């Protein structure tokens, strides 16, 4: 199936956001990469804020779909959590998705247009809710023993994952991600 122009624009915008954040790219950058005029980009996405909002929505929908798939196809809470961490470890090691788009945008949240910031927050709320549900299921099955509430442990885990991405990126050592998040599941296991 051939990609639409809108999808190509979104894919390029995503790689540019991951590389340099919201203010790190322009429509001229997208124009050069996609091979279309800036006016054509404006036809699809009248403003940069609208483009990034659609990008965040697409990213969030894909993340939600992936997390739903983990719940449906991975047998238990420990394995689901491990699969989530393994996904990011693979993406960072092979550079297929070296950083979370929403984590990059969250670093700039005070400078983002409010509609974009609201969508970024929604992504984090959805991820925290999924992590909380997995932790609760693990507690119910006596697989996890939590030092804090499932909601707090979910926030700690989410911060560990995004912090590990940041450390791996800052130091140019993709293997740091696994070194940082690897002990997280062991810490939670009963």
Per-residue pLDDT at 3: 83
On whether the pTM is more than 0.85, the answer is yes
Tens digits of per-residue pLDDT, 68-95? 999 999 999 999 999 999 999 999 999 8
Per-residue pLDDT at 105: 96
- Exposed/middle/buried for residue 163 (C-beta within 10 Å: 0-12, 13-18, 19+): middle
Residue 189 carries which DSSP code? B
Kindly give the residue spans of alpha helices, DSSP state H, lying in the chain: 5-20, 27-34, 38-44, 48-73, 77-93, 101-106, 114-140, 150-171, 175-188
Residues of the chain with pLDDT under 50: none
Distance CA 128, CA 94 (A): 25
Among 93, 89, 90, 105, residue whose Cα is nearest residue 161? 89
Among 60, 57, 51, residue whose Cα is nearest residue 16? 51
Per-residue pLDDT at 1: 64
Residues sharing a CB contact under 8 Å with residue 42, sequence separation 6 or more, in sequence order: 27
Residue 22 carries which DSSP code? G
Residues sharing a CB contact under 8 Å with residue 114, sequence separation 6 or more, in sequence order: none
Tens digits of per-residue pLDDT, 127-139? 999 999 999 999 9
């Amino acid at each position: 199936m051939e990609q639409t122009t809108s999808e190509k624009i979104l894919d390029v915008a995503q790689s540019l956001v991951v590389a340099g954040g919201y203010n790190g790219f322009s429509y001229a950058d997208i124009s050069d990469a996609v091979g279309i005029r800036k006016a054509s980009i404006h036809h699809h996405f009248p403003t940069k804020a609208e483009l990034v909002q659609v990008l965040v929505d697409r990213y969030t929908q894909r993340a939600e779909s992936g997390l739903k798939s983990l719940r449906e196809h991975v047998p238990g809470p420990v394995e689901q959590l491990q699969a989530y961490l393994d996904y990011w470890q693979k993406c960072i090691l092979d550079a297929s998705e070296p950083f979370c788009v929403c984590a990059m945008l969250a670093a700039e949240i005070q400078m983002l247009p409010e509609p974009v910031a609201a969508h970024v927050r929604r992504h984090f709320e959805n991820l925290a809710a999924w992590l909380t549900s997995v932790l609760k299921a693990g507690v119910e099955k006596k697989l996890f023993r939590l030092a804090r509430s499932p909601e707090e442990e979910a926030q700690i885990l989410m911060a560990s994952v995004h912090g590990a991405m940041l450390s791996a990126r800052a130091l140019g050592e993709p293997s740091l991600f696994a070194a940082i998040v690897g002990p997280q599941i062991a810490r939670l296991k009963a």
